Amino acid sequence: MRFLVWNDLLAKHFFNPGQYGRQVRLFISKTEIISMGRIYFSGETQDKEIWSDFLEGLQKGPVGVNGADNIFEKAAQVAIKWRAGRHQRLSGYDQQFPPYLSYLVFSILPLIEIQDGYNTNNYYDRLEDFISENGLYEIASKPKRLQNLRDKLRNIDHLWDELSQWANIHMDGQLGSFQAGYTGNRGWKFVVKPLSQCIFPPVTIKKLPSFFTKAGLIPGNFYTQRAFKDLLIDKGVQWLGLRADAITLIQGDSGLGKSLTELVESEFSRWTGEQFEFTTEHGERSYLSGTVVPLWMQFKEYTPGHIDFSYRAAFASEPPTDLCLGDLADLYQDENWSKTLALGFQEKITLYDKRYKWKAESRSKDIRLFINAAHFNLSSRFWIETTKLSRVDDMFVLCKDKLAENIKNWAEAECGSFRDQSGLKGIPPGYTLFRFNKPRAGHPEIEMLKVEQQKSILVREGTGLKVSHNQYLNQYMPEFILINAQGEEQLVLKYQDDQTTANLISHPSLGGVWLLPESLRIGAPFCLHLAGSTEEMAKTYEIIRPHLLALKNENVPFKDAFGNPDEGTIPGYQGNAIFMEANLERVADRNPFIPSDKWIRGNTADLPADEQALLNWLITIEQTNTAGFNRAFEYIHRKRFGLEPQGLLQKRKSAVNLLDYLGYIDYDYQKDKITPLPPKLITLPASKGRKGQLIGCWTHGLLEDLIGYCKMYPDEINMEFQPASEKNQQLLIPVSISFHCGHVSTLEKIAKSVSVEFDEWYLLKLKALLPSLDDYRRMLIGGPTALSWDGVDIVQKSFNPENLLFSTEVAHNREFTLIECRPYYLPEYGIWIKGDYYHVDKNWGKYLIFHHYSPKVHSYDPAINLAGTNRLFRNADTLALPAQLPLPRLFSRFVIQLSGTAPDFASLKLQGKSGSFNLYRNIRSSIIDNLFKFKLNIEIQNINEPL
């Protein structure tokens, strides 16, 4: 196998999107390397042959890199080739990853594979044993001599820093961050870097969340480096399984000991508060066993001269919908924060949700810093607790009286302004409140009040619609923050193509925050730096526009009618393309699409004012996951509708499903992938002439071209825009776009003019593809059973067919029950059928349970076991379904796209019962009745009550 294939294999193992936000350690064993490489060898290949191939690849290196006597010299030569061009072609291939990475891995292997009798910090003796055991000879020596690499680490020392630069700056940590390690004293200058990669192996790092929990640490809180060091010394052996000599290193003053402490500190800064445990019940699996979140104190001016204290919980992972902390419910404000918790000032506080094992905690502190909450995209009426000292903003410090004089002396001497606010009403007894700004120097004793000098430029958290590690959409653009700003700086951007510059604009109310200039060139990469400084940030940024060229149905897997991945067996679907064997042009259902009445000429509307930022972001990012969608949705929603929206958690869940049903995206919630789909023109039933509907994603550029065509041929076609309902606009649902004309050939022409696919019988193909409830049941039972979570200490809810809700109040049986549980971030759904447990699609599962427990009614077809529920209603061409009973995915797509617009949500009293309903309009009654009777085996109740 070629050297570069081995290098890419290792690089993708260490650096990948799943490592975002984590620190990468180049720890890997010989056994793991062999296992990774085996896919490139035949089944008969022995482990030792694969291992020899790896070592031989290291010694040969890529083609064109010659003249080195040993592996470390070869590594240095490879790096020179790479450095000559950031993504230079080596051996005829473009290189995504630094080609010297596998050599750094080699330098660590002796520490992993050679253990007998050596201290943790003994490197070179282990290296010599490793070379001898593996027969690594000098590359061109005659006679053969074992490679002598003692004291040769200096030859590759610079590569550690180069890898750090690549991972942290060039790739912006998107594939994981990397820390090169500390030099320490001269005797450790080169050895410390490989050593620092393996004293904390992955198995130890995985124990750190449990380590933090046992220590009673609270995520996001401020702890000194000394506190982490003492904790490692005291509990590192017992809780992490560290060796005694590793503890000795941490106790000392070496650079390696410091780097280990800083690793733990870094992992703590990324800790979400989640704890996972393993169960061997029915096989070894991990599950979420508890979550700790911080409670941050805040205050606002209640009345003039009177302040009021409260709290917010800070979320690093999505909370359960019905999370209750103590007796507080309906907590969710956005993905980062709870609503205000009116608890008043408390020295310390702990709130529990025993069902989900969530704990929210604020510990007792001698000192608390407060900054304006607008820095965290919260209301500027609040001042909220923070752990970082700002050198430009007004801040408050709440301290115990015993520290008041000490802090006052510092603030009066070192701050730009200082005021004692202790006269305000509402300050708790025993505490003093000061207001200050612009500290010139830090407090000599209190670490939280230290002033940091090193400056850096970052994208302000919670701003911008991020597309890739350095690209953002040209709507709601990112803001930049200058870390440790002093207030006198000016940020400047420099375009990479022509080296021209432009000043950024300081934020009108937040210190150290900068806005991009209005004259910014779209699509032109730029760097940022401080005015008057010649040092530029190595990272580049780019603001880009959306384009449709990359959107293809092939970006999502081919699926069968149940949504299961398939090898392309017809019938099936891929994105918004339906593949059928039957010729549907002759089916009777085509009649509503071809009315006898002629088209009446209409006017084409102008371009809608709404720029559809969410749609543009989806187009530009090409693929995302639920967490990415949630961030974008909440950011855009906050920009459009304000900082404190109601029901945001439910809104974004409804939005992602509606966008899927309307045909804008393919949402695979089991694999957690969201993929935008290309535009497509389909036909809808019409009362006059022919009607077309645009599904899939679109840009304003596409709409301008379509409008231009319609206005060029006003006697042949017109185009209409129907805004979403007010409630659906809160879900960021785009306008509905339809076309009206006299002949299907006109729809073909307009689609061809803008290079959009046209499918006249798309909806009829989709209808023919729909499986029945019996089909789904047979597919489920005919497939593999799954492992249930019975016997594991996680919350399981049963679906109640009476109120259509999941609840813990009803004990589940193993005869026929739908289960919801949450072992991980996303919920998991399973169904018990006659003692067997199966993974199930949530919506199909609901209809299986709903049909099973509903009373049965007479059917003219004895083959149909028809359920009469008096819960699903129709009035003429409007269908009312309970909001808690959404249709299975393809059914929803068919009904909603047949309607031509998103359903409305309404609270109604029907047949004497109140409930929440989704209303689907413009659907012919015959289609509704037949769909539910023959596919879902449910009778629709025809009512006269208005819908």
3-state SS of 606-620?
CCCCCCCHHHHHHHH
CA distances to 538, 654, 681, 736 from 731, in Å:
38, 7, 24, 14
| Report for 24-28, 330-334, 746-750: range of highest mean pLDDT | 746-750
Question: Could you tell me if residue 360 is left (phi over 0), alpha (psi between -120 and 50 degrees) or otherwise beta?
Answer: beta
CA-CA distance, 869 to 877, in Å (whole number)? 20
Query: Is 88's pLDDT higher than 60?
Result: no
Q: Where in the chain is the domain with CATH 2.60.40?
A: 456-544
Q: Which pairs with CB-CB distance under 8 Å and at least 24 residues apart come from 645-651? A: 645/333, 645/334, 645/730, 648/332, 648/333, 648/334, 649/318, 649/321, 649/332, 650/321, 651/730, 651/731
pLDDT tens-digit map of 230-267: 999 999 999 999 888 788 888 887 667 787 888 899 88
Nearest Cα neighbor of 197 from 115, 259, 270, 250 is: 259
Q: Residue 350 — φ and ψ, nearest 5°?
A: -135, 130
pLDDT tens-digit map of 757-816: 999 999 999 999 999 999 999 999 999 999 999 888 888 999 999 999 999 887 788 999
Report pLDDT for 193. Answer: 83
CA-CA distance, 679 to 576, in Å (whole number)? 9
Query: Is 199's pLDDT higher than 60?
Result: yes
What is the CATH number assigned to the segment(s) 456-544? 2.60.40
Total-model pTM: 0.87
- CB neighbour burial string for 198-217, b if at least 16 within 10 angstroms, e if fewer: bbbbeebbebbbebbbeeeb
Q: Enumerate the β-bridge partners of residue 836.
A: 833
Query: Is 28's pLDDT higher than 70?
Result: yes
Higher confidence at residue 707 or residue 42?
Answer: 707
Average pLDDT over residues 388-398: 94
What is the chain's Cα-based Rg? 32
Cα separation of the two ends of the chain: 67
Strand 505-506 and strand 501-503: pairing?
unpaired
Please compute, for residue 113, the number of CA atoms within 13 A of its CA located in the half-sphere on the CB side.
20
Token couple for 921: 């309009």
- For residue 419, what is the enclosing H or E element? strand 417-420
Lowest mean pLDDT among 6-10, 110-114, 880-884: 110-114
Lowest mean pLDDT among 134-143, 623-632, 653-662: 134-143
Question: Could you tell me if residue 131 is left (phi over 0), alpha (psi between -120 and 50 degrees) or otherwise beta?
Answer: alpha
Sequence-separated (6 or more) residues with CB below 8 Å from residue 254:
184, 185, 188, 192
Report pLDDT for 850. Answer: 94
Query: Is 733's pLDDT higher than 90?
Result: yes
Token couple for 793: 């200490």
CA-CA distance, 106 to 885, in Å (whole number)? 57
Asked if residues 72 and 118 have their Cβ atoms less than 8 Å apart, the reply is no
CA-CA distance, 502 to 233, in Å (whole number)? 51
775: how many CB neighbours lie within 10 A of its CB?
A: 13
Asked if residues 140 and 129 have their Cβ atoms less than 8 Å apart, the reply is no
CA-CA distance, 56 to 174, in Å (whole number)? 32
CA-CA distance, 44 to 38, in Å (whole number)? 10
Report pLDDT for 105. Answer: 94
Asked if residues 669 and 826 have their Cβ atoms less than 8 Å apart, the reply is yes
Please compute, for residue 492, the number of CA atoms within 13 A of its CA located in the half-sphere on the CB side.
16
Asked if residues 348 and 302 have their Cβ atoms less than 8 Å apart, the reply is no
CA-CA distance, 434 to 110, in Å (whole number)? 56
646: how many CB neighbours lie within 10 A of its CB?
A: 12
Token couple for 311: 């709290």
Asked if residues 760 and 681 have their Cβ atoms less than 8 Å apart, the reply is no
**Which residue is it, tokens 């820390």?**
179
Please compute, for residue 241, the number of CA atoms within 13 A of its CA located in the half-sphere on the CB side.
10
- For residue 153, what is the enclosing H or E element? none
**Which residue is it, tokens 């296992």?**
35
What's 866's DSSP letter? -
CA-CA distance, 479 to 461, in Å (whole number)? 8
Lowest mean pLDDT among 54-68, 305-319, 665-679: 54-68
Report pLDDT for 87. Answer: 39
Sequence-separated (6 or more) residues with CB below 8 Å from residue 88:
81, 82, 95
31: how many CB neighbours lie within 10 A of its CB?
A: 12
CA-CA distance, 476 to 460, in Å (whole number)? 13
Asked if residues 581 and 440 have their Cβ atoms less than 8 Å apart, the reply is no
CA distances to 384, 511, 745 from 374, in Å:
9, 11, 55
Residue 302: pLDDT band by 50, 70, 90 thresholds?
confident
Query: Is 860's pLDDT higher than 90?
Result: no
Average pLDDT over residues 20-33: 87
Question: Is the CA virtual torsion 779, 784, 785, 786 positive or negative?
Answer: negative
Higher confidence at residue 316 or residue 92?
Answer: 316
